[in-house]
Amino acid sequence: MNEHVASTPDMAPEMGSGMDAKTPMMAQYLDIKAEHRDYLLFYRMGDFYELFFDDAIKGAEALDIALTKRGSHQGRDIPLCGVPVHAAEQYLEKLIRKGFRVAVCEQVEDAAEAKKRGAKSVVRREVVRLVTPGTLTEDSLLEARSANMLVALGRAGSDFALASADMSAGEFVVSTVQPGDIAGELARLSPREVLAPDGLLADEHLAPVLKALGPALSPLPSIKFDSGNGERALKALYRVAALDAFGSFSRAELSAAGALIGYLELTQKGKLPALKPLARVGERAFMAIDAATRRNLELCETLTGTRGGSLLATIDRTVTGAGARELASRLSSPLTDTPTITSRHDAIDYFASESDLRRDVREALRRAPDIARALARLSVGRGGPRDLANLRDGLNAARDLRKSLDGIGDPLKPAAGEIAKARHDLVEGVAAASALSDRLEFLLVPEPPFLARDGGYIKSGSHAALDDVRGLRDESRRIIASLESRYREESGVGSLRIKHNGVLGYFIETTPAHADKLQTDALRQTFRHRQTIGSAVRFSTDELATLASRISQAADQALAIERELFDAMVALALETHLALAQLADALAALDVSTALAELATQQRLVRPKVDESLTFKIARGRHPVVEAALQSESAKSFVPNDCDLSPGSAGRLWLVTGPNMAGKSTFLRQNALIAILAQMGAFVPAESAHVGIVDRLFSRVGAADDLARGRSTFMVEMVETAAILNQATEKSLVILDEIGRGTATFDGLAIAWATAEHLHEKNKSRALFATHYHEMTALAERLHAMTCVTMRVSEWNDTIVFLHEVAAGAADRSYGIHVAKLAGLPAAVIGRAEEVLRALEEGREGHKPLARIDDLPLFQATPTAKPQSKTSGVEDALRDVSPDALSPREALELLYALKAKL
């Protein structure tokens, strides 16, 4: 099945009779492929991109399209598959998603030009772009609400740095990173693609981190990370002689940033996207949250990898793609500096109380297109008139927003924090982009097409020369229309029509029955025969031909003028790119502030107090995601709980006990989420909250809860626990959920015990420790800053009801068998379990437990009867005894008898 090749007749001469060894085209293909070994080569042939050899085999399988063969090479068939150019984007998307990188090779001259070099010469082709996951700009290849990060890991000696850029939005940031923090930083940035020196793949510590990236990793030769080259690349990018204006960068930072720019140049074939000035971020700017904690807390996606059900999905009320991306970035990177956090809280506070203003702002934002992404496409030459219209409409929305915000000059209630900054940026950005705005407004039609190719996007009346040629074109069309009636009169053929098609251009058409009337002596001079087909005979006239060529010339001229105007608008937009980026950022920030204010009112969130203390005091806190889930099921309502780990409280280390399903994990996580929300600058689900800045957040879950990821090994749990004990500080918040569960009871308990002691004595972090080992509550007597709380349950008629309430104290027992009963385990099993439990508990008090269990009748021997009885033989015997009626001797005998029943 290879009709797609057959349908590209213009290629046939090139292909010759086949692609036998070294036809000129084959030679060209092999040359280009040799330079792009790591890429699938999309080789343009007419209306298709063709893939050959191994590329074809891989491509056909990945895309689920037919694999065919054509010609032969070195005696073997050449595998082949192809995708139509007009649908290429959707195939690219599939390939990128599956981890491939694609080199797009185009024809850069037409066949006629090639022929001039000789009958056998091949059309010139060049790779015009490398498509990789981190360098996408097309809307169809991107998700509107997610950033598309490209990250480079640079190195100078033993120093490391990470540079990150979202080329589709212009972000460009670099920061120094400790080797041990690289994995955590990568988790924070959540990149689509990571560039790293290939030498690092041999580094024993970094290799596992890099390999875990899977297909997102793009190893590059170490020379690409040279810091001297990096400095030169940055200077060239910003067209400056010295980088001082951007800050001072370390050699590792120059290495990372330079490698990233080099890669953009390589993949975009020299067309660099419009990046914002490189920003340097301090090492401790963000709350450190490692990958395991992010996963475990389900911040941006759930354990099963979906966005729905994550914290992000639950809190997202943004109305623009840029706002959604900004929200996700803030959630991934909670801050550690109080002033910025406070300014974000100020903005939410303001918008939460000004509901009219909030509504107006959100209305204006809804109309704002994605300025940043339109600009990115224009900057790499992949933009169209629709992208210019996006800039125009974005600028209009910005102007509307500035007006809305101008109205809020109430001196009693000054708009503080982020709003003030956004307003300032809007005023400045709108002013700086006014020339662009005027030009776009004046020239562009309201709804221009996506592609510049066919013209039709410049308003009439906006450009005199364009109006003239369009007038000429339209006038000629009108004359042609009037020709039809004149020709009908002259020929007497009432059904004569003037038509147009792509092959003949304009022509006159009659039915075969009337054709003779146009070939009379009088008319033969005028009507020249052109074509006879089954149902029609077609003619032309000099007059028509002249008009037609005038139309096509005018159309060509109009296209050229439009193209020129388009290019000038793009150039102006790129000159204005900093102002546009500033506006785009202000719009995104306003979207986030109003969205979080909206959320705060809908979900009853409060402004947390954030400072530099070691306080962690939450009154009636709630788990936002569990609460939302309960709401949507309109089932029970969420039970709020207090948590106070502050100095001077009952304890900074809380040991949480309680049966399964009682709400321990929920309580732990809700406090971690509240810390994150507070420091990302959002309001929090509580009645009040006071959070002293958390420098690092750790959350670990006992192996059994991590089954979803299929890596529930005890080893992983221990590696992760080790990381906490080595890194957590007094300012950290640690959540340990059933650590030690993945191994046998006694060593599990021992590990949990020692971990709690270390946390208390050495790390001194604020911590919540959930455990099912009640034995650990004994620790509270020795560890002064540890306190025990338990999830309350009420027992009722032999069953238990979970109250989901945290109360002081320890659970007196684990209720595991109760839960098993609730779950419907057979009565026989429950009964047997109760017996074994009793034996074990007695064993703990000094007897030999296993011997006692051996003495119990085997499970098979006691089908269902006995387990139903709740009382033992001893109890039964005692029930009938009246102690007052016994003589001392009888009492002694009874004691012997009772003992014998055991």
Task: Give all strands (DSSP E) within 407-551, no chain letters.
Answer: 497-501, 505-510, 528-533, 536-540
- Amino acid residing at 836: V
Contact call for residues 777 and 813 (beta carbons, < 8 A): no
DSSP class of 192: S
Residue 661 touches ligand ADP, criterion: CB under 6 A: yes
> CB under 5 to 8 A by kind: which of Mg ion, ligand ADP, none does 76 bind?
none
The CB-of-718 to ligand ADP minimum distance in angstroms stands at 21
661 binds, options Mg ion, ligand ADP, none, Cβ within 5 to 8 A by partner type: ligand ADP
Which of 25, 806 has the CB closer to ligand ADP?
A: 806
Residues in the site for Mg ion, rule: CB under 5 A? 665
Residue (225 or 714) nearer to Mg ion, CB: 714
Q: Which does 639 bind (CB under 5 to 8 A by kind): Mg ion, ligand ADP, none?
A: ligand ADP
336 binds, among ligand ADP, Mg ion, none (CB under 5 to 8 A by kind): none
Structure tokens at 843: 């064993």
| Secondary structure of 564-591 as H, E, C letters | HHHHHHHHHHHHCHHHHHHHHHHHHHHH
Closest residue by Cα to residue 147 from 334, 362, 324 = 324
CA distance 178 to 592: 31
The C-alpha angle 197, 199, 203, rounded to 5 degrees, equals 115
For Mg ion, the closer CB: 665 or 671:
665
Instruction: Give every CB contact of residue 575 below 8 A, 6+ residues apart in sequence.
Output: none
Question: Closer to ligand ADP at the Cβ: 584 or 806?
Answer: 806
CA atoms within 13 A on the CB side of 133: 23
631 versus 729: smaller Cβ distance to ligand ADP: 631
CB of 737 to ligand ADP, least distance (A): 7
Q: Does 639 bind ligand ADP (CB under 6 A)?
A: yes
Q: Which residue is nearest to ligand ADP (CB)?
A: 663
Q: Is 79 in the site for ligand ADP (CB under 6 A)?
A: no
Cβ of residue 841: shortest distance to ligand ADP, in angstroms? 22
Q: Which of 79, 323, 663, 681 binds ligand ADP (CB under 6 A)?
A: 663
Tell me the residue nearest to Mg ion as measured from the CB: 665
Nearest to 483 by CA among 418, 548, 437, 393: 548
Q: Does residue number 660 form part of the binding site for ligand ADP (CB under 6 A)?
A: yes
Query: Could you say whether residue 671 binds ligand ADP (CB under 6 A)?
Result: no
Candidate residues 665, 671, 771, 787; the one interacting with ligand ADP per rule CB under 6 A: 665
Name the segment binding ligand ADP (CB under 6 A); options: 222-230, 239-247, 406-414, 632-640.
Answer: 632-640
Closest separation between CB of residue 662 and ligand ADP, Å?
A: 4
Please identify, using beta-carbon distances, which residue of 116 and 636 lies nearer to ligand ADP: 636
Residue 296 touching ligand ADP (CB under 6 A): no
DSSP state of 216: G
Size of the site for ligand ADP (CB under 6 A): 13
Distance of CA 683 to the CA centre of its chain: 23
First to last CA, the chain: 83
Member of 101, 330, 664, 690 binding ligand ADP (CB under 6 A): 664
Spatial separation of the C-alpha atoms in residues 745 and 738, rounded to whole Å = 12
**Residue 78 touches which member of Mg ion, ligand ADP, none, C-beta under 5-8 Å by kind:** none
Shortest separation between residue 656's beta carbon and Mg ion, angstroms: 10
- Exactly one of 443, 580, 662, 734 binds ligand ADP (CB under 6 A); which one? 662
Among 41, 152, 496, 626, binds ligand ADP (CB under 6 A): 626
Q: How would you classify the pairing of strands 653-657 and 766-770?
A: parallel
- State how far the Cα of 808 lies from the Cα of 792, in Å rounded to an integer: 9
Q: Find the shortest distance in angstroms from Cβ 620 to ligand ADP.
A: 10
Find all residues with CB under 8 Å of 415, minimum gap 6, and list them: 347, 350, 405, 408, 423
625 burial type by CB count under 10 A (0-12 exposed, 13-18 middle, 19+ buried): buried
804 part of the interface to ligand ADP, by CB under 6 A:
yes
Q: Which region among 374-382, 660-668, 809-817, 873-881 touches ligand ADP (by CB under 6 A)?
A: 660-668
**Within 10 A of 207 (CB to CB), how many other CB atoms are there?**
12
Q: CB count, 10 Å around CB of 516?
A: 11
**CA pair distance 283, 162, nearest whole angstrom:** 11
- In the complex, the smallest distance separating the C-beta of residue 773 from ligand ADP, rounded to whole angstroms, is 14
Site string for ligand ADP, 576-615 (x = CB under 6 A): ----------------------------------------
Pick 666 or 787: Cβ nearer ligand ADP = 666
* CA-wise closest residue to 789 among 689, 690, 643: 643
Q: Is 621 in the site for ligand ADP (CB under 6 A)?
A: no
| 699 part of the interface to ligand ADP, by CB under 6 A | no
Contact 794, 801 (CB under 8 A): yes
* 619 lies in the binding site for ligand ADP (CB under 6 A): no
Select from 666, 679, 732, 771 the one that contacts ligand ADP (CB under 6 A). 666
Q: Which residues contact 643 (CB under 8 A, 6 or more apart)?
A: 616, 617, 618, 621, 654, 667, 671, 768, 806
- Give least dist CB 174 to ligand ADP, A: 40
Contacted entry of ligand ADP, Mg ion, none for residue 793, CB cut-off 5 to 8 Å set by kind: none
Q: Measured from the CB of residue 662, what is the shortest distance to Mg ion in angstroms?
A: 8
Q: Quick check: 617 and 644 in contact, CB under 8 A?
A: yes
- Nearest distance in Å: CB 351, ligand ADP: 29
Q: How far is the CB of 636 from ligand ADP (least distance, A)?
A: 6
**To the nearest whole angstrom, how small is the minimum distance from the Cβ of residue 402 to ligand ADP?**
44
x/- mask, ligand ADP, residues 361-400, rule CB under 6 A, reads: ----------------------------------------
State yes or no: residue 774 binds ligand ADP (CB under 6 A).
no
Partner whose binding site includes residue 577, from Mg ion, ligand ADP, none (CB under 5 to 8 Å by kind): none
Q: For residue 244, give the amino acid letter.
A: D
Is the Cβ of residue 658 or residue 867 nearer to Mg ion in the bound state?
A: 658
What are the structure tokens assigned to 899, written together? Answer: 């003992």
Considering the rule CB under 6 A, would residue 769 count as an interface residue with ligand ADP? Answer: no
Region of 153-161, 473-481, 528-536, 664-672 interacting with ligand ADP (CB under 6 A): 664-672
Residue 60 touches which member of ligand ADP, Mg ion, none, C-beta under 5-8 Å by kind: none
Q: Say whether residue 643 binds ligand ADP (CB under 6 A).
A: no
- Residue 541: strand pairing partners: none
383: CB partners within 8 A, 6+ apart: 374, 377, 570
Task: Please tell me whether residue 741 binds ligand ADP under the rule CB under 6 A.
Answer: no
User: Which value, in Å, is the radius of gyration of the alpha carbons in the chain?
Assistant: 37
Q: 29: buried, middle or exposed (CB in 10 Å: 19+, 13-18, 0-12)?
A: buried
Asked if residues 339 and 408 have their Cβ atoms less than 8 Å apart, the reply is no
Kindly state whether residue 314 participates in binding ligand ADP, applying the rule CB under 6 A.
no
638 interacts with ligand ADP by CB under 6 A? yes
CA angle at 857 for the pair 855 and 860, rounded to the nearest 5°: 140
The single-letter code of the amino acid at 216 is A
Q: Does 678 help bind ligand ADP (rule: CB under 6 A)?
A: no
102 and 55 Cβ atoms separated by less than 8 Å: no
Instruction: Report the candidate in 208, 147, 184 with the shortest Cα–Cα distance to residue 293.
Output: 184
Q: Applying CB under 6 A, does 703 fall inside the site for ligand ADP?
A: no
Here the tokens at position 371 are 């300025």
- C-beta separation of 71 from 28 below 8 A: no
Q: Given the rule CB under 6 A, which residues bind ligand ADP?
A: 626, 636, 638-639, 658, 660-666, 804
